[in-house]
């Protein structure tokens, strides 16, 4: 299976007959069925079209001091601190082999990976309880993948930069990606 980004090809497949959007990273589709009913996608199984956003989280800590008293005027004795994570999850629009649109969530770093693992576990539990894919209003999880060593190759990184520029750093190997069915925004009116 070849891995291509933009119009360059890495591997032994060619995609010259495919029209590729300027900001498209093509990751040729091939997926496996997971034991839990959700598909386990190979990193080579997604067409990444564009970044659509990013998410972060904050860790809030309540402080308690010996003796139960703190000086409210002493900055070294806060009652609460909040630490922002910065961007921890990147969101991408993608296409699967059948042409359906998908939303990818890439989890960056160990803390974000733990959140992604928990989210995947919740979806697995909901699917198990429903006896199949649950009808959820929060999003339909199609499957997941772990990025592999192909993401670390020089050719992939050069092709990624040509498609996305320097503003969107390339993905790294070993990251968890959750793959959701694309649901367009709808207005009431």
Tens-digit pLDDT profile for residues 48-87: 889 999 888 888 888 888 777 887 788 888 888 888 877 7
- Which residues lie below 8 Å from residue 167, measured CB to CB, with a gap of 6+? none
- Among 40-44, 78-82, 134-138, 156-160, name the most confident range: 156-160
Q: Give the residue among 150, 142, 145, 141 at the shortest CA–CA distance from 176.
A: 145
Task: Please check the confidence at residue 138 and state whether its pLDDT lies above 70.
Answer: no
- Which residues lie below 8 Å from residue 10, measured CB to CB, with a gap of 6+? 2, 3, 4, 150, 153, 155, 156, 159
Over residues 88-117, the mean pLDDT reads 90
Task: Please check the confidence at residue 24 and state whether its pLDDT lies above 70.
Answer: no
Counts of helices then strands in the chain (DSSP H, E)? 2, 12
Give just the sign of the alpha carbon dihedral 139, 51, 37, 175.
negative
According to the model, what pLDDT value does residue 133 have? 65
According to the model, what pLDDT value does residue 6 have? 35
DSSP 8-30: EEESS---TTS---TT-EE----
Report the percent of the chain where pLDDT is more than 70.
Answer: 74
pTM of the model: 0.65
Task: Please check the confidence at residue 176 and state whether its pLDDT lies above 90.
Answer: yes
With bands split at pLDDT 50, 70 and 90, how would you rate the model's confidence at 188?
low
Report the percent of the chain where pLDDT is more than 90.
Answer: 23
What is the DSSP secondary structure assignment for residue 170, as one 8-state letter?
Answer: P
Task: Please check the confidence at residue 165 and state whether its pLDDT lies above 70.
Answer: yes
How does the average pLDDT of the chain come out, rounded? 74
- DSSP-based three-state secondary structure for 84: strand
Q: Give the residue among 59, 60, 56, 41 at the shortest CA–CA distance from 1.
A: 41
- Which of 44-48, 82-86, 154-158, 182-186 has the weakest average pLDDT? 182-186
What is the DSSP secondary structure assignment for residue 163, as one 8-state letter?
Answer: H
């Amino acid at each position: 299976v070849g891995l291509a980004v933009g119009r360059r090809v890495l591997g032994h497949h060619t995609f010259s007959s495919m029209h590729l959007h300027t900001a498209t990273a093509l990751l040729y589709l091939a997926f496996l069925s997971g034991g839990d009913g959700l598909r386990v996608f190979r990193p080579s199984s997604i067409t990444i079209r564009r970044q659509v956003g990013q998410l972060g989280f904050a860790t809030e800590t309540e402080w308690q001091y010996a003796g139960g008293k703190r000086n409210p005027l002493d900055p070294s004795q806060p009652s609460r601190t909040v630490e922002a994570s910065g961007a921890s999850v990147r969101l991408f629009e993608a296409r699967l082999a059948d042409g359906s649109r998908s939303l990818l969530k890439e989890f960056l770093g160990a803390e974000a990976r733990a959140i992604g693992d928990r989210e995947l576990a919740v979806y697995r539990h909901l699917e198990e309880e429903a006896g199949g894919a649950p009808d959820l209003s929060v999003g339909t999880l199609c499957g997941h993948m772990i990025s592999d060593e192909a993401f670390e190759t020089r050719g992939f990184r050069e092709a990624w930069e040509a498609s996305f520029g320097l503003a969107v750093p390339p993905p790294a190997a070993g990251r968890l990606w959750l793959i959701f069915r694309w649901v367009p925004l709808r207005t009431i009116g």
